[in-house]
Structure 1
Amino acid sequence: MYGVLVFLAATALNEFLLARRKPTLRQVASIMGASLLLSFGIGMLSGGLQHFEDFPTRAAVLIPIGIVLSFAAYVIKDEDTSWRRLFGLAGLAVLVTALLALGGLRYVASSIAEQPDGGGHSHGTPDAPSPGPSTPATTPTPAPARSATGAPARGDGHAH
């Protein structure tokens, strides 16, 4: 939410306050709408990349959608660019890239989902023993948590 507000504030500053010519009301609506779409597209792309190991199936879909949405918003935002660019060679290249990414990421996501310990970038509780009754001496101590690379986990939920 805060990212969207910062993005809109930066757009308002750049497009309206610092602009040499003042836009019409229609241009203001178009620029702000495109900025919102661009913000959501970039958020989907970066969030999908950051949390791919945590939610691989969801991220495999969010990343390609974020690519397409960001491109469309960028084209809409630039008033000097024709809408035909969305459906032209550049748009086709972005669409093909997104479809290839979708297929490849879904394949990778399916292999991650099959692994019992995906590691990841979770923000959950640390892998520390909970306070409570002491563990009897006969109970084996669990092995330290490991990340996907085999390195010891940091213990704060971030296994990089």
Structure 2
Amino acid sequence: MLGNYLGYAATFVGAGLISGAIVHHPLDPARYTVIAVIGAVVFLCATVLSEFVLTKQRPKASRVVGLVAASLALSFGIGMLSGGLQHFEDFPERGAMLIPFGLTLSFIAYVLRHEPARWRSIVGPAGALVVVTAVLAFVGLRGIADGLAGESGGGGGHSHGEEAPAGPEEDEAGHDAQPEDQAPAPESSPVGEPDPAKTEDAGHADDGHSH
């Protein structure tokens, strides 16, 4: 029971790491590439545990490579589908591509992984239905993504480029203008220099005509 639980949990943990790495990859390519690789390794470990260790009927050697490749493709397909759905609002354009592509890849990988004898169903009615669904999903989600991009791009009255009203310190020509109540005071004689009128009166008082 413990082994089955570990295999079951590792399957979803690996798919979750892959989905998060695929969606957020443009933000930090180096970091999320490492996370995607770790998720793929965890998913493959879960596959080995459930298909080779805990099972009584182990696959043939010729089937091992195909099983591992299909499991890895399935993990990435589910990761694209899950990550695109969860973070569509955050990355609408990327999600519009990941969801239909992940749906198609996960279906093909699932058939090759769990129903290899029915591989013809990939190009049969079931496969055609999946492809049509993926195309319709891409067209619809692309339209939604364009609408979200238009809303967040400054359209529809959400412009952030409005000019601030000119303050009292600027006139129409863009020069500093001083308010009327702060006009400069009339010039006065510098401190320490005698007033010419007072000096002339004092001269008449000190000449010989004054007694």
| TM, length-normalised to structure 2 | 0.53
CA distance in 2, matches of 1:86, 1:79: 10
Shift of 1:79: 4.5
SS across alignment from 1:19: coil
Query: Which has more helix, going by share of residues?
Result: 2
Alignment-mate amino acid for residue 7 of structure 1: F
SS across alignment from 2:149: helix
Residue in structure 1 matched with residue 201 of structure 2 by the alignment: none
SS across alignment from 2:57: coil
SS across alignment from 1:90: helix
Residue in structure 1 matched with residue 142 of structure 2 by the alignment: 106
Residue in structure 2 matched with residue 11 of structure 1 by the alignment: 47
CA distance in 2, matches of 1:68, 1:102: 11
Residue in structure 2 matched with residue 52 of structure 1 by the alignment: 88
Residue in structure 1 matched with residue 16 of structure 2 by the alignment: none
Give RMSD over aligned pairs: 1.7
1:51-86 Cα offsets, whole Å, 9 max, x none, are 212221111011000000000000111245321110
Residue in structure 1 matched with residue 125 of structure 2 by the alignment: 89
Equivalent position to 1:36, from 72, 75, 82: 72
Structure 2: tracts of 5 or more residues without a match: 1-35, 154-211
Higher relative contact order (CA 8 A, sep 6+): 1
Structure index of larger Rg: 2
Shift of 1:20: 1.8
Give runs of ≥4 in structure 1 deviating > 4 Å.
none
Aligned length: 118
